[in-house]
A and B are shown apart, each in its own frame.
Chain A
């Protein structure tokens, strides 16, 4: 079985992202990091592939900015990495993104399981996970907190999903797309040997032509980006002899300001 996972480079969560003088979104020269949610999906892909003695491939959709994350994935222990890119790709157009993602998955033999991190932190969205599943025509299981069983021979997967009301245990027929939550595992650090291997790897780039598809035209136009209005905050530190006294004062203030 081949397990596919996705990654992308996002601005460091500590970076200051803002609209620059040209009206473009910029994070200055701050470093990019692996989309933090992907650390968990990468780890899970490696673990599951080890269990079923399967193969792993990590895919990034977009420009060569994402090679860093692909190399990070290889350093963690994912076996293969590929980047899919297309002229005219708008990274904010999730349908274009998902079309490329699904075509890439279809281009990999014997892929039965696609694992996504819960969301893309830079755009604060997880819709590409659902759209990719839809494009593939596969079952989508989101917010998986544990893979209880991946049965390669029986062709099923049993997962625990976190829902608002509690937990759900589900079994689905493969192939499936899942998105995983942070608590699912503890991602490993890239080892020295992993880093050495990854840094020597060259990452192939697939185009829509390689995948036998045409990139759908983007339906989005970017009219304007604006920074949020500056916030006018005054802070007040509550003084008091005891914690109880401070807490009582805080409650009074919150009531006064109609926060409570």
Chain B
């Protein structure tokens, strides 16, 4: 027998502390989110200020942000744990609302915002007093972010902002938006800035709360801005750098998207295993059919692979790896997660049969909610576009 001197250990980034944190988040999800899922889905909205306050008190909302603003300066694995556990709630909309707040509208503010901005918007968001939103997409520009039209024109100490934003998560409840707008006449990605917009500003309008296929508990809104005056000091970092900041912010968004995808998928498959073990047809449990075992086994294999690719992505971010490499892997994780969620939702609902098609069965909600993963935060094709470009396949 060959023995090795060096002991290699299975790759596991989680310490006892992470596992304690996992237990606490899991309990929070089981007691504070899942029991209200049906009510919030029916209402088409969730009370984000209440939920965020509870989470803020527990220190769940600023895991990776500076202690100076109430954050915990924790390593990235706590963020991974948070979103893995949130994804196990019997509802997609609320975890998405939380993720938008903790890791999609705040990174640029935390890393490039002024002290003033961080004190005014980041600190209250970390403690759960404010709800944030990210406003990039417009009616005429989604995948092609460089084509956005919302314009912020300097006038004295203010920007005067006109335009509109589409499909904005948390849009009807947010206290502030991280808004991507044009701040110069340049018609390309160089002319944009990220600006923090308080939603009580005159000229800010929630034009419509949008009805959706799924994610019913998430208030997605169409927002419009009419001569909305916002102080120039509300701009994050440098003028003209907004597109770059947003691309950087998208990396975290895509990592979190991937976590939600594989973790939600894992729950769906495990629920399906439990259901098909109980449900009998032709004198035996459905799960006794090798076809079902193999299909579910295959999905668990895919989930495990996606999970570890995503852990690799997290470790790249944690170690401060080169941005293009983080982008390459984050895009792959997001792509794979979205596709996997579609495959899992379709397979699982099939094995639930008619029961899976019923509103009362959580898998039907998962089927609707998870479909977003291949569209929101950059569609699959945009991930492929990025991958192709970073792999040197781009031809002008």
Segment with Cβ contacts to B, from A44-52, A99-107, A158-166, A186-194 = A186-194
Q: Chain A contacts of B16 at CB under 8 A? A: 71, 199
Among B17, B24, B63, B74, contact of A189 (Cβ-Cβ < 8 Å):
B24
Tell me how many residues of A have a C-beta within 8 Å of chain B. 12
Contact of A193 with B59 at beta-carbon distance under 8 Å, contacts A75-B20, A199-B20 already known: yes
CA distance A200 to B20 in the complex (A): 12
Which residue, of A72, A189, A191, has the highest number of chain B Cβ atoms within 10 A?
A: A189
List which A193-235 residues lie within 8 A (CB) of chain B: 193, 195-196, 198-199
Majority SS of interface residues in chain A? Answer: helix
Contact of A192 with B23 at beta-carbon distance under 8 Å, contacts A199-B16, A199-B17 already known: no
CA distance A71 to B63 in the complex (A): 20
Q: Chain B contacts of A190 at CB under 8 A? A: 20, 23-24, 58
Q: Does B34 sit within 8 A of A, measured CB to CB?
A: no
List which B369-389 residues lie within 8 A (CB) of chain A: none
Q: Is the CB of A192 within 8 A of B63?
A: yes
0 or 1 for each of B10-32: is its CB under 8 Å from A? (1 = yes): 00000111001101100110000
B338 nearest CB across to chain A (Å): 30
Q: Is the CB of B28 within 8 A of A189?
A: yes
Q: Is the CB of A192 within 8 A of B72?
A: yes
Given contacts A189-B58, A192-B72, 15 further A-B contacts (CB under 8 A): A71-B20, A72-B23, A189-B28, A190-B20, A190-B24, A191-B24, A191-B59, A192-B21, A192-B58, A192-B63, A192-B78, A193-B72, A195-B20, A195-B24, A196-B17
B220 nearest CB across to chain A (Å): 29
List which B56-113 residues lie within 8 A (CB) of chain A: 57-60, 63, 72, 74, 78
Give me 12 A-to-B residue pairs in the complex whose CB atoms sit less than 8 angstroms apart, sorted by A's number. Answer: A72-B20, A75-B24, A189-B58, A190-B20, A191-B57, A191-B58, A191-B59, A192-B60, A192-B74, A196-B17, A196-B74, A199-B20
CA distance A228 to B57 in the complex (A): 45
Q: Is the CB of B21 within 8 A of A195?
A: yes
Tell me how many residues of B have a C-beta within 8 Å of chain A. 17
CA distance A191 to B128 in the complex (A): 14
Q: Chain B contacts of A196 at CB under 8 A? A: 17, 72, 74
CA distance A198 to B15 in the complex (A): 13
CA distance A192 to B72 in the complex (A): 8
Which residue, of B15, B23, B28, has the highest number of chain A Cβ atoms within 10 A?
A: B23
CA distance A21 to B78 in the complex (A): 39
Using CB atoms and an 8 Å cutoff, list the residues of chain A in contact with chain B. 71-72, 75, 189-193, 195-196, 198-199
Q: Chain A contacts of B28 at CB under 8 A? A: 189
Q: Chain B contacts of A198 at CB under 8 A? A: 20
Majority SS of interface residues in chain B? Answer: helix
B309 nearest CB across to chain A (Å): 26
B326 nearest CB across to chain A (Å): 25
CA distance A189 to B17 in the complex (A): 15
Q: Chain A contacts of B23 at CB under 8 A? A: 72, 190
Q: Chain A contacts of B20 at CB under 8 A? A: 71-72, 75, 190, 195, 198-199
A169 nearest CB across to chain B (Å): 30
Q: Chain B contacts of A189 at CB under 8 A? A: 24, 27-28, 58
CA distance A192 to B15 in the complex (A): 14
CA distance A191 to B24 in the complex (A): 8
Q: Chain A contacts of B74 at CB under 8 A? A: 192, 196
Q: Chain B contacts of A72 at CB under 8 A? A: 20, 23
Q: Chain B contacts of A195 at CB under 8 A? A: 17, 20-21, 24
Q: Chain B contacts of A193 at CB under 8 A? A: 59, 72
List which B266-322 residues lie within 8 A (CB) of chain A: none
Q: Top 7 closest A-B pairs, CB basis?
A: A192-B59, A199-B17, A190-B24, A191-B58, A195-B20, A191-B59, A189-B24
CA distance A42 to B152 in the complex (A): 54
Q: Chain A contacts of B17 at CB under 8 A? A: 195-196, 199
CA distance A196 to B15 in the complex (A): 11
CA distance A225 to B63 in the complex (A): 47
CA distance A193 to B58 in the complex (A): 8
CA distance A71 to B24 in the complex (A): 12
List which B1-56 residues lie within 8 A (CB) of chain A: 15-17, 20-21, 23-24, 27-28
CA distance A192 to B17 in the complex (A): 9
CA distance A190 to B26 in the complex (A): 11
Closest residue on chain A to residue B32 by CB atoms: A189
CA distance A72 to B22 in the complex (A): 12
CA distance A196 to B78 in the complex (A): 11
CA distance A224 to B59 in the complex (A): 48
CA distance A189 to B72 in the complex (A): 17
Q: Chain B contacts of A75 at CB under 8 A? A: 20, 24
A168 nearest CB across to chain B (Å): 30
Q: Chain A contacts of B60 at CB under 8 A? A: 192
B129 nearest CB across to chain A (Å): 17
CA distance A130 to B21 in the complex (A): 34
CA distance A69 to B60 in the complex (A): 21
Q: Chain A contacts of B59 at CB under 8 A? A: 191-193
Q: Chain A contacts of B58 at CB under 8 A? A: 189-192
Q: Chain B contacts of A71 at CB under 8 A? A: 16, 20
Closest residue on chain A to residue B59 by CB atoms: A192
Q: Chain B contacts of A191 at CB under 8 A? A: 24, 57-59
Closest residue on chain B to residue A193 by CB atoms: B59
Q: Chain A contacts of B57 at CB under 8 A? A: 191
CA distance A191 to B15 in the complex (A): 17
Q: Chain A contacts of B63 at CB under 8 A? A: 192
CA distance A207 to B72 in the complex (A): 37
Q: Chain A contacts of B21 at CB under 8 A? A: 192, 195
Closest residue on chain A to residue B71 by CB atoms: A192
Which residue, of B20, B23, B27, has the highest number of chain A Cβ atoms within 10 A?
A: B20
